Structure 1
Amino acid sequence: MIKRFDPSFLLKNARLIENSHELGRFLNEISDRKLIGVDTESAGFYKYHQGLNLIQIAAENCAAIIDPQAVKDFSSFQNFAKDPSREWIFHGGDFDIRMLTQEINVQISKFFDTRIAAELIGFDSLGLSSISEHFLGIRMDKKLQRCDWSRRPLTTEMKHYALLDAISLLSIRDILYDELLKMGRLDWALEEFSFALKNLNEHHDREENLFAFQIKGAGSLNKRSLAILKEIWVVREAISKENDRAPFMVLGNSTLIEISRQIPKTLSRLSSIKGVGKSFLSGYGDLILDAVKKGCSVDLFKFQTKPRKRENRRSLSAFEGELLKLLRQTRDSIAQNLNKRRVGFSRKRSPTD
């Protein structure tokens, strides 16, 4: 089942909003629309601070890109979001909703998540590209997925890529809504949306990860090298934060591991380690050597590392083993019967979907 879908009109006529006056005017124009497709873009792959770089909105017969780097006053958007009857459509909306809330204080009260909906009707591949191809006949090109969205000016290709997700969400939502209704699972979906939104709106303090320095490869290091790793990891974090660059762009994890293992004492020795460039060496080489020295002086008896997970489960008795087997069989049977009730999913999807 493929729905006729042609985004060309909206892509061609979409506007780029770069000030609060344009934003207010656009929101006023769509104030009577009760369904809006929403997507956001962040340059978090390249930046230390994961900010909100683009907001894409699509409604019936219109679409726009809002540039948070240019717009300074979002009060009109905050008021627009207060309408409890308006449904905001996202795909895997956790990140988007959090960014809208944290960055510009836009808090929504009703949303439809196409990823959750697709999962509830038994769709196998939950990426928006696969779902879009299945329902709309369009497979989205993801080559710009890791684009630096903080870059200005936006190219036409960047604009079209960013807009297409939001535009497609409107049509996909209608199809999924009908499928959920036919299968008697609409209430399931609404309950999931409500629970997800409640969880997103609640404030959760993030616990400090005391062992974040134990990156991939740290398991091969002895305790002294782990102490050094912690110190140079702290330095890398500080450099990344100061320059707003992703940590891997400052020094790769494999380079941190090698520095910790080789324990260089001079700039010459540090420069021989793969991944330590000349510009980094001249700017931050001494900081790294100081961190290595500090790690070498750490009291290893007091140094804490992430405790290894221990398996504390006791062995099951014969009766418990049979009961567990029966429960799993019952669960799988119920799941299979539920999936047999899919509507309109006869097309076999490829393993790459």
Structure 2
Amino acid sequence: MNRKPGRDAPASADPPDWDLIHTQREFEDLLEEWSGVERYALDTEFHRERTYHPRVALVQVAWPGRLALIDPLEVDLTPLADVLAGDGCAVMHAARQDLEILNRECGLVPKVLFDTQVAANFVGFSNPSLGTLSERLTGTKVPKGDRLTDWLRRPLKPTQLSYAAADVRNLLDIADRLIEDLDRRGRSSWAADAIEDERSDAWTTRDPAVAWTRIKEVRHLKGQALASAQALARWREETASIEDVPTRNLLSDLGLVGLAQTRPDTVKAARAVRGVDGRNLRGPRAEEALAVIAESIGQPPEDAASVRSPEVPGELRSAIGLVTTWVKQLARDLDLDPSTVATRADVEQLLAPGPDGRLGGGWRAELVGDPIRDLVAGRAALAFDRGTGLVLEPRREAV
């Protein structure tokens, strides 16, 4: 490939160290080179404020001696799937939303992944930014971007391109230092498990059937109002996905609950409900919403218990706060991010009937899950030590 600065490269005595990929031919040449790389840094810039699905605006990739910025507004990213499916390791930072984008654009996510933010949570950081890791581990400052930057506007400014390039320029160096620290602490497998969980979760799509569970106000509804709210929430989610608009642009949560409670049968009555924006709920959309409400009348609501986590038995509820405090203290003592080890919800799931969740297997079970089981079974006890705080220790048999 003839490597030269892209046409939006900043004019400078020192040419940029990146190429701007504008054409499909340039992209295909890059992919040919990329396919033989064992490890590469990968990032995306995107927008989702005005859409349901995130819209990719730039893809950045780097490996030793190579840094490229790919313009997805001019390039079809579909062929990238072959590289992602290969054995090369994609090194990313806080990859969750990037994985969602790759899955949507290419139909899959990287087969092999290393997330520097997830890995850092096992060596003394707590969901650090890329800038924090770069400065702490490599001594290099990453320029702060403007959160209001419009990445979809063309041409991209030189400052935008420089910022985007900085996101991947030293990501492999950061990964090397994290891997070294993980190996030294014996936590490489822990981080690998957590990263694989993130990678697997990227295949999960939002289920419209349970969209109502994410609406706080719906939890208090019962009977017919609940059934109508569930139907409206499903319709709103499906319609927003098809039209690629934010759900709020169709119907606000407040408006949805209001319609479910009043169940109007005319567009005029529906638009008079509090929280309903007549600019959004009009024409075919309004008629569809009314039809959904009409069809829901007389239908039983979905049992809320079917999507609600089992409750912790009464005799164990008083232990939740104490156990959660012990988990946080243990995590900090071990230089681990507390939320990576276990959240209060994880503790509740372990103590409740049914599946044990994250604490039921793997390194989390060994570290906190099994000790908590011993505690509730009476084989261990929590004690307070003036020097170390809460201590979970085996219970001594009475003599």
With structure 1 as the length reference, what TM-score do the two structures score? 0.69
CA gap 1:223/1:163 in 2 versus in 1, 3 angstroms:
farther
Distance 1:304 1:25 in 2: 53
Give the partner amino acid of 1:166: V
SS at match of 1:65: strand
Is the 8 Å Cα contact of residues 15 and 63 (structure 1) preserved in structure 2? yes
CA gap 1:196/1:67 in 2 versus in 1, 3 angstroms:
same
CA gap 1:203/1:174 in 2 versus in 1, 3 angstroms:
closer
Is the 8 Å Cα contact of residues 270 and 276 (structure 1) preserved in structure 2? no
Give the partner amino acid of 2:334: L
Matches within 5 A, 1:236-251: 236-251=236-251
Q: State which of 101, 119, 126 in structure 1 corresponds to 2:128.
A: 126
1:292 matched residue in structure 2: 293
Distance 1:335 1:242 in 2: 43
2:304 matched residue in structure 1: 306
| 1:134-161: CA deviation from partner (whole Å, max 9, x where unpaired) | 443346336148x6x5x35353255444
Q: State which of 167, 174, 177 in structure 2 corresponds to 1:175.
A: 177
Is the 8 Å Cα contact of residues 225 and 260 (structure 1) preserved in structure 2? yes
- Percent of residue pairs bearing the same amino acid type: 21
CA gap 1:177/1:213 in 2 versus in 1, 3 angstroms:
closer
SS at match of 1:217: helix
Residue 57 (structure 1) shift: 0.6
Q: State which of 334, 337, 349 in structure 2 corresponds to 1:338.
A: 334
1:345 matched residue in structure 2: none
Matches within 5 A, 1:1-353: 12-28=16-32, 34-50=38-54, 52-72=56-76, 74-75=78-79, 77-78=80-81, 80=83, 84=87, 86-97=88-99, 99-100=101-102, 103-104=105-106, 108-135=110-137, 136-138=140-142, 140-141=144-145, 143-144=147-148, 151-153=152-154, 155-156=156-157, 158-180=160-182, 184-185=184-185, 188-189=187-188, 192-193=191-192, 196-197=195-196, 200=199, 208=207, 210-214=209-213, 215-272=215-272, 273-278=274-279, 280-295=281-296, 297-299=297-299, 302-307=300-305, 309-313=309-313, 315=315, 335=331, 338-339=334-335
CA gap 1:20/1:113 in 2 versus in 1, 3 angstroms:
same
CA gap 1:256/1:24 in 2 versus in 1, 3 angstroms:
same
Residue 108 (structure 1) shift: 4.3
Q: CA RMSD for the aligned pairs?
A: 4.2
Is the 8 Å Cα contact of residues 228 and 292 (structure 1) preserved in structure 2? yes
CA gap 1:88/1:249 in 2 versus in 1, 3 angstroms:
same
Is the 8 Å Cα contact of residues 48 and 55 (structure 2) preserved in structure 1? yes
Aligned residue pairs total 317
2:369 matched residue in structure 1: none
Give the partner amino acid of 1:245: V
Residue 263 (structure 1) shift: 3.1
